[in-house]
Amino acid sequence: ETGVTQSPTHLIKTRGQQVTLRCSSQSGHNTVSWYQQALGQGPQFIFQYYREEENGRGNFPPRFSGLQFPNYSSELNVNALELDDSALYLCASSLSDRGNSPLHFGNGTRLTVT
Amino acid sequence: DAKTTQPNSMESNEEEPVHLPCNHSTISGTDYIHWYRQLPSQGPEYVIHGLTSNVNNRMASLAIAEDRKSSTLILHRATLRDAAVYYCILRDVRAQKLVFGQGTRLTINP
């Protein structure tokens, strides 16, 4: 059984640019959520996709957007990058969007904005 | 918004039990309590979750207070591999919002 994989592992971008991060969910999982983790902090919930539709969102501006594909893989897009967007971006998949469904995390993409 | 409060750090000795507390006084009736742990340079790893009753699995036990305003993760015999940051989070029934606390950094002494 393949776990959650994220690509790329590291990325350096310039302020104002756009970035796309990718996540392949665990086999059989139809729900994907994304998190931003600044250094030394806990992960912050960005949004969640269930069967290709966003069904939950944290306190992040609209320049953070996403997609979920029919195979349940997902993308996180960030436009107009700011220096504060530098963080570890984590993706997690789960069997369903129910609260009793454990999350399975990837190892993240480390984004540096200069 | 419901949130969780955990001690910043705790220390224990190898082969001793560890009790990691979490306060969630604003928990709603449909929030599940989840625990995850994170090693350096890795994503969080699922440990255990529960709603009202105490739960046991091969990794740990979860004790939930009767009023559900607090919970305790119990590692029965700590090993050096249990050293990590432990997060207590609340996940609602539709999981439309998920709140991480700051986590507890657990140090295990040999």
Chain-chain contact of B44 with A43 (C-beta, under 8 angstroms): yes
CA distance A75 to A92: 12
Nearest to B96 among A55, A94, A105 (CB): A55
Q: How many angstroms separate the first and last alpha carbons of chain B?
A: 39
Q: Which residues pair with A60 in a beta bridge?
A: none
Chain-chain contact of A4 with B97 (C-beta, under 8 angstroms): no
Q: Is B46 on the interface with A (CB under 8 A)?
A: yes
Q: Is B100 on the interface with A (CB under 8 A)?
A: yes
| Residue A52 distance to chain B (closest CA, Å) | 14
Q: Please say if the pLDDT value at position B3 is more than 80.
A: yes
pLDDT at A7: 97
How many distinct helices (H) and strands (E) make up chain B?
A: 0, 10
Residues of B in contact with A56 (CB under 8 A): 94-98
pLDDT tens, residue by residue, B6-53: 999 999 999 999 999 999 998 888 889 999 999 988 999 999 999 999
Residues of B in contact with A48 (CB under 8 A): 95-96, 98
CA neighbor of B102 nearest in space, from B87, B83, B92: B87
Q: How many angstroms separate the first and last alpha carbons of chain A?
A: 37
pLDDT tens, residue by residue, B44-82: 999 999 999 999 999 999 999 999 999 999 999 999 999
Q: What are the residue ranges in chain A where pLDDT is below 70?
A: 1-2
